Copies of this chain bind each other. A is one copy, B any other.
């Protein structure tokens, strides 16, 4: 009756949290917070639902952990990128554009961004963390770089924070396009190509 060699489960305390979060990321990204079922997360993690509660208190805490996971590594990447290009703004923009497009093109960063946007109303404190710890810094770094370039006379007058939005907007649009309309048959965009063309356009458009 009972399968001889095959044990019913294994005890792998150290690995579970990571596996659960990976499964949760996938399910949350597919269904959104409310429609995500803990049973499905558990099944994909190869675990029973009860086991989830050995590692996390509530569904919300799992969600928080998934989102929080994305923050630290990306902050490091941003800081490194800005630090690596203290010179003329076009250098920074070309490097950053390519890097960010590549990042967002494969990583689950785009899916998480969409979740944060989608669930912001029901989890304001989550939007706050994402904003305070990632978005503000990223946009701030870009704003500072633009302002510095203006001070150097490289960039024409204009609100630097607005220039930052102008720079980032199309990437966000591309991600939302991919997450929203491509699954429904829309023509996809080549994100790195969009980033490249946009950076070149912005460099010309911002020139003093």
Contacts and interface: CB of A to CB of B under 8 A. Distances in A.
Interface of A: 30-32, 34-35, 114, 116-122, 124-125, 127-128, 131, 135-136, 158-159, 161-163, 165-166, 168-174, 176-177, 179-181, 183-187, 189, 193-194, 197-198, 200-207
Give the one of A119, A180, A194, A203 with max B CB within 10 A: A180
Give the one of A118, A121, A193 with max B CB within 10 A: A121
A185 B207 CA distance: 32
A193 B162 contact: yes
A47 B140 CA distance: 47
Nearest to A202: B205
Contacts of A198: 162, 166, 169
Nearest to A125: B184
Contacts of A128: 184-185
Contacts of A193: 159, 162
A34 B203 CA distance: 43
A203 B201 contact: no
B203 A131 contact: no
Contact of A184 (B131, B170, B177): B131
B165 A174 contact: yes
Given A170-B165, A180-B120, A159 B30 contact: no
A184 B206 CA distance: 31
22 contacts: A30-B121, A32-B121, A34-B34, A35-B121, A117-B117, A117-B176, A120-B183, A127-B183, A135-B186, A158-B201, A162-B198, A163-B201, A165-B173, A165-B174, A166-B170, A166-B194, A166-B201, A168-B173, A169-B170, A176-B176, A201-B205, A202-B205
Contacts of A124: 183-184
Nearest to A135: B181
